[in-house]
Amino acid sequence: MKLNNIFIIISAFCLMACNGNKSNQDKLNINSVLEGADGSGLEISAESMTSIIESIPSPLEVAMVIKESGNDFNEGLLNPQDNSRLYTTDQEKAMNIGIYGGDIGYINMFGKAYLTVNYLTSIKKLADAIKIGQFFDFSTIKRLASNSDKMDSLIFLTTMNFNKMDEFLRNQKRTNLSILMVVGTWTEGLYIATQVAQKSDNKEITEWIGCQKMIVDQLLLGLSAYKNDDYFRKLISDMNNLKEQYNKVEIIYEYHEPESQEIDGRLVIVDKSTSTVKITPEQIIQIGKIVDQMRLRLISNL
Amino acid sequence: MATILLVNKISFKTNENDRPTQKKICSLLFFVLFALLYPLGVFGQCDNDITLNNCASKLGTYNFIKYFTVGANQKKKSNPEFSYVFSTGSKYIMIACNENVVGGKMIVSLYDREHNLVASTYDESTKSYYDKLIYSCSATGVYYIRASFIDAKKGCGMCILGFDND
């Protein structure tokens, strides 16, 4: 009798366990179907798409290069806040969340906290519309923005908000919007950099622009998964124009063994490899023109 | 809960001669429960928010870029890998954070575009472990950050990536 009871319990658990496994399998199958179905272009696995999206450099990096070059902040380079009312489709909203995200990186790096709250308000409005606005803690953002000593925390919080929005979209299998956000952020960074580079001859900014050659390829690969969609097709066409210009830019890479040393309990690696960028002022102008036209179309909804 | 009560009820009725059987049954039940709860992540839950807050405070003057989580319930790869484009002239910091009660310490290893190992937070030969890795980049390109655990143990961890100008 005792054994019978135990066997009934075990059998019940085993049945539940089997059922659990089955539902996991179902989930995996549904996931693979969704992966295949959310774009009828080139098939890219969710894992590869995540890898592409996560590898794109933060907009803060180019903003720091610009700041360190001694150039002043130029508010005229930002996408005007009023433009946020122009964006009606989910794709336009995602793209311009990204573009405003690029602006936020530039704004924050120059410590213009008064603009941070305004721009985050526009981002939040667009994010709410595509159901990813829940990651913004506005009371904390406002508190941090009112104190210039808290700029580091503000940068951390806004970057986190963007990371979480992006992660959420991918978990929700809305990777098409995630890649648009990333393209928007990157485009804005490249736009600001090319505008600054054309007015001030700075080696670091010029090199940064040249190095974006490898990002163009990465983004084109990500976008190609959705190439049958009209919005994506136009974007791919613009990116191909950029790629054509970037084909003239040469990057020479030389590998050398890195050196490591321990400093204050931290492992510090000194890279001995080098990458040399060969880009002419004319190529900077041409890349600047293409990215300017592409961005204008995206922010003005032309 | 119902199972535990039932086991208690059964054990009240057992005598000395039943002990070996009772032990076997308890062991069996333990394994069944483990098999059931393991896929649910009960034994390997990672609280990312707590880890992130603790970990981010170690950034110092570096600017936060992003975080990568490595969980006991990581579905695909045992040693997950993340990629990021590093830029010449920037200094990157990778911070390995563990919230493991039982798992091994998390190792963060950096590989270049050709998957040459650039550095790792753990040196197997000297058994030296560092929780921070700083890398001054002089060759722009895709770099790969791979996470694993000492002695190939499983665990929860997070890697935070930050940057500063060189």
Residues B109-164 have pLDDT tens digits of: 999 988 989 999 998 888 889 989 999 999 999 999 999 888 777 778 889 999 99
Chain A CB within 8 Å of residue B137 CB: yes
- Is pLDDT of B41 > 90? no
| % of residues, chain A, pLDDT over 90 | 63
Instruction: Please judge whether A207 and B88 are an interchain contact, meaning their C-beta atoms are less than 8 angstroms apart.
Output: yes
Higher per-residue confidence, B37 vs A276: A276
B30 to chain A, closest Cα gap in Å? 11
Q: Give yes or no for residue A104 having a pLDDT over 70.
A: yes
Contact A266 B132 (CB under 8 A): yes
Q: What is the pLDDT of residue A32?
A: 41
pLDDT the model gives residue A143: 86
Q: Rounded distance, CA A78 to CA A99, Å?
A: 9
Does A277 score more than 90 pLDDT? yes
pLDDT of res. A278: 96
ipTM over 0.85: no
On chain B, the residues whose CB falls within 8 A of the CB of A16 are 36
DSSP assignment of chain B: -HHHHHHHHHHHH--GGGHHHHHHHHHHHHHHHHHHHGGGTTTS---HHHHHHHHHTT-TTSEEEEEEEE-TT--S-SS-EEEEEE-TTEEEEEEEEE--SSSPPEEEEEE-TT--EEEESEETTTTEE-SEEEEE--S-EEEEEEEEEGGG----EEEEEEEEE-
pLDDT score recorded for residue B35: 54
Q: How far apart are CA B98 and CA B51, in angstroms?
A: 7
User: Which residue does chain B place closest to A1, by CA atoms?
Assistant: B10
Give the Cα separation of A252 and B139 in Å (integer): 9
B67 touches chain A (CB under 8 A): yes
For residue B36, which residues of chain A lie inside 8 Å, CB to CB? 13, 16-17, 20
A21 compared with B165, residue with greater pLDDT:
B165
Chain B residue numbers with beta carbons less than 8 Å from the beta carbon of A277 are 140
* pLDDT 10s digits, B42-79: 444 566 676 787 888 889 889 999 998 887 555 555 67
Asked if A163 lies within 8 A of B66 by C-beta distance, the reply is yes
Query: Taking all residues of chain B, what is their mean pLDDT, rounded to a whole number?
Result: 75
Which residue of chain A comes nearest to B69, CA vs CA? A167
Cβ contacts of A166 on chain B, cutoff 8 Å: none
Nearest CA in chain A to B82: A51
Chain B residues with beta carbon closer than 8 angstroms to that of A251: 140
Do the chains contact at A57 and B121, CB–CB below 8 Å? no
Whole-number pLDDT of residue A152? 86
Which range of A10-24, A175-189, B48-62 scores highest in mean pLDDT? It is A175-189
Provide, rounded to the nearest whole percent, the portion of chain A with pLDDT above 70. Answer: 86
Residues 6 or more apart whose Cβ sits within 8 Å of residue A231: A89, A91, A92
pLDDT at A24 (0 to 100): 37
Is A227 within 8 Å of A42 (Cβ atoms)? yes
Of A10, A54, A275, the CB nearest to B140: A275
Nearest-Cα distance to chain B for A210, in Å, is 10
The band of A61, judged by pLDDT with boundaries at 50, 70 and 90, is very high
Least confident of A65-69, A122-126, A214-218, B10-14: B10-14
**Minimal C-alpha gap between B103 and chain A (Å):** 23
Interchain proximity B138–A266, CB inside 8 Å: no
Specify the pLDDT at position A90. 97
What confidence score (pLDDT) does residue B47 get?
66
Closest by CA to A103, choosing from A160, A161, A185, is: A185
**Bridge partners (DSSP) listed for residue B111:** B117, B144
Question: Is the Cβ pair B138, A271 closer than 8 Å?
Answer: yes
Contacts of A10 in chain B (CB under 8 A): 28-29, 32
Task: Kindly list the residues from chain A whose CB atom is less than 8 angstroms away from the CB atom of residue B113.
Answer: 253
Decide the pairing of beta strands A266-270 and B132-136.
parallel
Mean pLDDT (chain A) is 85
Contacts with A156 from chain B: Cβ below 8 Å: 56, 59, 64
- Does the distance separating the beta carbons of A56 and B85 come in below 8 Å? yes
Under an 8 A CB cutoff, do A54 and B82 touch? yes
Q: Which of B65, B89, B121 shows the shortest C-beta gap to A267? A: B121
What are the b/e assignments for A162-184, b being 16+ CB within 10 Å?
A: bbebbbebbeeebbbbbbbbbbb
- Asked if the C-beta of B74 comes within 8 angstroms of chain A's C-beta atoms, the answer is no
Residue A302 has a pLDDT of: 67
pTM of the model: 0.79
Using a CB-CB cut-off of 8 Å, the residues of chain A touching B83 are 51, 54-55
Distance of CA B13 to the CA centre of its chain: 44
The closest alpha carbon to A161, from A221, A212, A108, A205, belongs to: A108
**Cβ within 8 Å, pair A253-B113:** yes
What pLDDT score does B29 carry? 64
Strand B117-120 and strand A266-270: pairing?
unpaired
Contact A113, A146 (CB under 8 A): yes
